[in-house]
């Protein structure tokens, strides 16, 4: 539409037609309309089954790897005798020439895919059946998921942590200890003595060893010290001290059970495989029409699956297909993507939630963890007019496929001071334009439409930016109260500012804002804006394996994951860290254990909780025992392996027992001297520190009695 008084628009005159109102001839005095024809910009394609006459066109566009794998006449044989194969070929024709092709196969190896990928949200790619065993069969996994022990104690700790930090200022004000009398030495000594001798002191309970006790053979050089050292600390021969056998029992009881399940689905097949997908480069858009037509070839099946190597460049496929998450310990060499029928054929929309939507929401979340909390939150947002939260639903063909709860952000000043949000926002915006994403759930089949739903949230809520907080206990399965939103991959992670600790006198003198001095429980922050959602999302599926979990590894992961790309949102989907005791700073906090470690940078527990590496990183507890550079995999514990595309060795240095220098010692003397003295503790990891302090505590308690 061109308003009156506007002359010729050269940039649009050549590609459209200017239309004047009836009985008007002068475009300078009246509003005019420019009309463009779709046929001038979008090519017209005819979608049909392939015939033998298409052989020459298809051979020219199909990648050479197909010919190298199946032979020169593979396509010709499929076209000449389609009944002899379970495959179907459909092509997109443009001006009498085939410019795009799909090869579809109804044969899918369901059991293999079910063992390697999390297919429960897709019902195992089969029709629902009354004999389905979703969470009944338990099998051991190659690598156990890390579990956190002492659930109740850890939960109460994090719930009370924020209140304790806020009350620290009041405690310091009432402390009359002078600066001369206070020292780090006195503080450390007091903490240790209280831990060793005071049964009622806070934090006097035994320290946890690690997130998971890993079964590691004793001959591995990387952990020989730890195995022998723990035998020294908790030897059964020292039962006279009153803690040896009890400690062994406690350690064995703390071994977490395997939480990896392989469901079994008994229904009819409900998927077909995409074997070949290619087109002429300038006609790539025809693939979208071919995807729609593929479901007409299999009208009784709802899923189309495709698998390809992680380093292949299939941007058009990943744009329309949803990535399936591999199971813990999966060694499948390819990525799996799924496309649901309604995700490409259905009409999608978003709207404000209504009271009658609560029934469908309850049905959608019935199998989720603690659905009553989600229902209550959604109910308050819909039923209470004065509520600060508003509910929204995502609809496909009159069926709700997702929901969201959005509130107005109340602590925008705190976020601006403590997080680097200015690098993502040009300005702070006007008041009331920042929202908080409390809940966002979308069915996995519609995962590829998350960006569309987020843009609709911005439009309906009138918020220019939406924040999402992820606290430490939110990403722990055993402590989670609400499910993680499945839009984190489409949101930008925000780094935290390093805030110095201000003296009370300086804060009063310079009148520092309370938002700067306030200490919340640390949380990771993610944001989304229409600008972020408009940038292309690049998924990097290359398998990156990092061996070691020290400060070098943490700094490397921080630079890799949080490096901002101005033109795209980059997401690393396959980053794995291998370490005997997991990533540092991810265990239950303990001031006693932290005393023995020297902080030489900005990485500490609070900072790590503020960036939440576990959102992007898989942690495997184990020891690397071999490297196969030809096949590109690393061996773990001599009984499993992890494939890699890029391997980073960041093992660092470790303190260890010094070798014997006297070569004349007899074998008996060597055995005797190899035992650790009672007063020697070698500490490399947080688990070593926990072992040492627990041994000292048990020794002190035994002396009291």
pLDDT digits (tens, 9 = 90+) for 314-329: 778 888 999 999 988 7
234 and 100 in a common domain: no
CA–CA separation, 216 and 641 (whole Å): 14
Q: What is each CA distance from 101 to 79, 94, 336, in whole angstroms?
A: 12, 12, 20
> Residue 234 pLDDT more than 50?
no
Tell me whether residue 330 is in a domain: yes
pLDDT for residue 437? 93
CA–CA separation, 77 and 86 (whole Å): 13
Residues 138-165: tens digit of each pLDDT? 333 333 333 333 333 333 444 344 444 4
Residues 684-699: tens digit of each pLDDT? 777 777 777 788 778 7
Inter-residue contact 302 to 263 (CB < 8 Å): no
443: tokens are: 């069915």
Q: 502, 533, 564: which is the final residue of a domain?
A: 533
Q: % helix / strand / coil in the chain, to the nearest 5?
A: 35, 20, 40
- What is the percent of the chain with per-residue pLDDT over 70, rounded to a whole number? 73
Lowest mean pLDDT among 193-202, 226-235, 507-516: 226-235
Tell me whether residue 185 is in a domain: no
527 and 541 in a common domain: no
Tell me whether residue 243 is in a domain: yes
Q: What is the mean pLDDT of residues 523-529?
A: 91
CA–CA separation, 604 and 583 (whole Å): 12
Residue 224: pLDDT band with limits 50, 70, 90: very low
Inter-residue contact 57 to 79 (CB < 8 Å): no
Q: 345, 360, 388: which is the final residue of a domain?
A: 345
What pTM was computed for the model? Answer: 0.77
Q: Which residues, 6 or more positions from 361, have their beta carbon under 8 angstroms from its beta carbon?
A: 374, 375, 378, 393, 400, 403
316 and 425 in a common domain: no
Most confident range (mean pLDDT) of 192-196, 386-390, 502-506 is 386-390
> Which residue, 303, 296, 273, 365, is CA-closest to 127?
303
Tell me whether residue 249 is in a domain: yes
**Average pLDDT taken over every residue of the chain:** 77
pLDDT for residue 200? 53
Q: What is each CA distance from 412 to 271, 429, 611, in whole angstroms?
A: 47, 11, 18
pLDDT for residue 662? 57
> What is the 8-class DSSP label of residue 296?
H
pLDDT for residue 48? 92
> Which residue, 378, 379, 386, 385, is CA-closest to 404?
378
> Residue 78 pLDDT more than 90?
no
602 and 564 in a common domain: yes
> Residue 258 pLDDT more than 70?
no
CA–CA separation, 587 and 208 (whole Å): 8
For 518, the domain range is 351-533
Tell me whether residue 96 is in a domain: yes
User: Count of alpha carbons within 13 Å of 565, Cβ hemisphere only?
Assistant: 13
Q: What is the mean pLDDT of residues 606-620?
A: 85
528 and 539 in a common domain: no
Strands 87-94 and 322-323 come out as unpaired
In sequence order, the β-bridge partners of residue 47 are: 92
Tell me whether residue 45 is in a domain: no
pLDDT for residue 256? 39
3-state secondary structure of 43: coil
> Residue 117 pLDDT more than 90?
yes
> Residue 245 pLDDT more than 50?
no
pLDDT for residue 421? 86
Radius of gyration of the chain from its Cα atoms, rounded to whole angstroms: 31
Residue 476: pLDDT band with limits 50, 70, 90: low
687 CB neighbour count, 10 Å cutoff:
23
Tell me whether residue 201 is in a domain: no
599 and 484 in a common domain: no
CA–CA separation, 509 and 514 (whole Å): 13
619 and 676 in a common domain: yes
Q: What is the mean pLDDT of residues 356-381?
A: 84
Q: Which CATH number belongs to the domain containing residue 480 in this structure? A: 3.40.630.30
3-state secondary structure of 381: helix
Number of structural domains, the chain?
4
Tell me whether residue 179 is in a domain: no
pLDDT for residue 551? 83
Most confident range (mean pLDDT) of 62-66, 287-291, 603-607, 693-697 is 287-291
Q: 483, 516, 533: which is the final residue of a domain?
A: 533
Residue 109 burial (CB < 10 Å; 0-12/13-18/19+)? Answer: exposed
């Amino acid at each position: 539409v061109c308003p009156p008084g506007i002359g010729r628009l050269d940039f649009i005159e050549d590609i459209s037609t200017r239309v004047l109102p009836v009985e008007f001839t002068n475009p300078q005095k009246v509003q005019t309309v420019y009309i463009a024809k779709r046929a001038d910009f979008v090519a017209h394609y005819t979608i049909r089954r392939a015939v033998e006459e298409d052989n020459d066109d298809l051979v020219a566009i199909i990648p050479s790897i197909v010919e190298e794998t199946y032979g020169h006449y593979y396509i010709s044989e499929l076209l000449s005798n389609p009944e002899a194969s379970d495959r179907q070929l459909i092509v997109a024709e443009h001006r009498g020439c085939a410019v795009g092709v799909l090869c579809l196969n109804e044969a899918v190896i369901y059991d293999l895919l079910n063992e390697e990928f999390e297919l429960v949200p897709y019902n195992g790619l089969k029709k629902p059946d009354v004999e389905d065993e979703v969470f009944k069969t338990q099998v051991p996994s190659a690598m156990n998921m890390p579990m956190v022990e002492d659930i109740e104690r850890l939960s109460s700790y994090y719930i009370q942590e924020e209140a304790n930090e806020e009350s620290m200022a009041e405690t310091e004000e009432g402390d009359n200890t002078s600066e001369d009398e206070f020292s780090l030495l006195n503080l450390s000594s007091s903490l240790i003595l209280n831990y060793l001798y005071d049964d009622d002191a806070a934090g006097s309970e035994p320290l946890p060893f690690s997130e998971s006790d890993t079964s590691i053979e004793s001959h591995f050089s990387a952990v020989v010290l730890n195995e022998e050292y723990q035998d020294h600390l908790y030897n059964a021969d020292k039962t006279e001290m009153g803690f040896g056998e009890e400690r062994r029992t406690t350690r064995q009881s703390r071994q977490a059970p395997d939480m990896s399940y392989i469901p079994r689905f008994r229904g009819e097949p409900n998927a077909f495989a995409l074997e070949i997908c290619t087109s002429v480069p300038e006609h790539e858009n025809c693939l979208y029409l071919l995807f729609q037509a593929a479901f007409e070839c299999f009208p009784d099946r709802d899923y189309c699956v495709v698998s390809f190597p992680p380093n292949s460049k299939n941007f058009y496929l990943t744009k329309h297909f949803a990535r399936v998450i591999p199971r813990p310990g999966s060694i499948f060499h390819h990525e799996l993507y799924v496309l649901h029928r309604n995700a490409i054929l259905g009409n999608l929309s978003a709207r404000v939630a209504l009271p009658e939507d609560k029934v469908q929401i309850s049905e959608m979340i019935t199998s989720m963890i603690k659905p009553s909390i989600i229902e209550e939150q959604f109910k308050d947002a819909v039923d209470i007019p004065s509520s600060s939260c508003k509910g929204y639903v995502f609809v496909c063909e009159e069926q709700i496929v997702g929901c969201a709860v959005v509130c107005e952000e109340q602590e925008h000043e705190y976020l601006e001071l403590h997080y680097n949000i200015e690098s993502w926002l040009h300005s702070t915006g006007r008041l009331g334009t920042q929202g908080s994403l409390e809940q966002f759930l979308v069915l996995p089949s519609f995962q590829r439409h998350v960006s569309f739903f987020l843009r609709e949230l911005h439009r309906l809520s009138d918020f220019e930016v939406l924040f999402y907080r992820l606290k430490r206990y939110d990403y722990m399965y055993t402590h989670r109260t609400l499910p993680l939103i499945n839009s984190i991959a489409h949101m930008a992670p925000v780094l935290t500012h390093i805030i110095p600790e201000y003296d009370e006198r300086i804060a009063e003198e310079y009148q520092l804002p309370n938002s700067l001095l306030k200490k919340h429980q640390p949380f990771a922050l993610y944001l989304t804006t229409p600008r972020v959602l408009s940038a292309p999302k690049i998924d990097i599926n290359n398998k990156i394996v990092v061996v070691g979990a020290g400060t070098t590894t943490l700094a490397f992961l921080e630079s890799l994951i949080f490096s901002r790309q101005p033109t795209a949102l980059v997401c690393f989907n396959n980053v794995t860290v291998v370490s005997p005791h997991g990533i540092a700073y991810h265990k239950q906090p303990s001031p006693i254990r932290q005393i023995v470690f020297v902080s030489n940078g900005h990485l500490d527990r609070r900072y790590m909780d503020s960036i939440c590496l576990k959102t992007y990183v898989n942690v495997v507890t184990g020891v690397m025992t071999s490297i196969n550079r030809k096949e590109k995999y690393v061996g773990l514990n001599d009984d499993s392996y992890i494939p890699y595309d890029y391997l980073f060795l960041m093992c660092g240095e470790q303190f260890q027992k010094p070798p014997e220098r006297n070569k004349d010692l007899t074998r008996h003397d060597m055995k005797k001297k190899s035992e650790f003295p009672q007063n020697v503790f070698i500490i490399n990891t947080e688990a070593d520190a926990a072992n040492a302090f627990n041994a000292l505590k048990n020794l002190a308690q035994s002396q009291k009695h």
